[in-house]
């Protein structure tokens, strides 16, 4: 399982409000069928392979352009762990929660 955290930031907007851009990007991820978690600072997703991951992020970036901005800045962090099975977003969180108890 490959996990990623990403944020797509519109550049050159008339306002500091970003909810329309965020909504457009997240809708694409939701429609992709990939498991995702929306956070206050970005979106986390899971994919079986890099192509699936990058395709979803590329479509989300395109959706931000379609809202009406001429430039975006995208930050992507990828965790491609191959030495352990089923390292989903939830599994990673549960591991730390157990250690905190």
Please check whether residue 26 is in contact with residue 6, taking contact to mean a CB–CB distance below 8 angstroms. no
Q: What is the pTM of this model?
A: 0.90
Residue-wise pLDDT tens digits, 54-67: 999 999 999 999 99
Say whether pLDDT at 74 is over 90: yes
Please check whether residue 72 is in contact with residue 11, taking contact to mean a CB–CB distance below 8 angstroms. yes
Q: Which domains does the chain have, with CATH numbers?
A: 2-100 (3.30.70.930)
Please check whether residue 6 is in contact with residue 63, taking contact to mean a CB–CB distance below 8 angstroms. no
The half-sphere exposure of 39 on its side-chain side, counting CA atoms within 13 A, is: 11
User: Measured between alpha carbons, how far is 77 from 89 in angstroms, rounded to an integer?
Assistant: 13
């Amino acid at each position: 399982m490959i996990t990623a955290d990403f944020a797509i930031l519109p550049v050159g907007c008339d306002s500091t409000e970003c909810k329309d851009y965020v909504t457009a990007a997240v809708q694409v991820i939701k429609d992709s069928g990939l498991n995702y978690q929306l956070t206050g600072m970005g979106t986390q997703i899971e994919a079986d392979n890099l192509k699936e991951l990058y395709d979803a992020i590329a479509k989300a970036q395109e959706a931000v352009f379609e809202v009406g901005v001429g430039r975006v800045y995208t930050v992507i962090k990828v965790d491609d762990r191959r030495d352990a099975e089923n390292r989903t977003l939830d599994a990673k969180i549960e591991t730390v929660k157990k250690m905190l108890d």
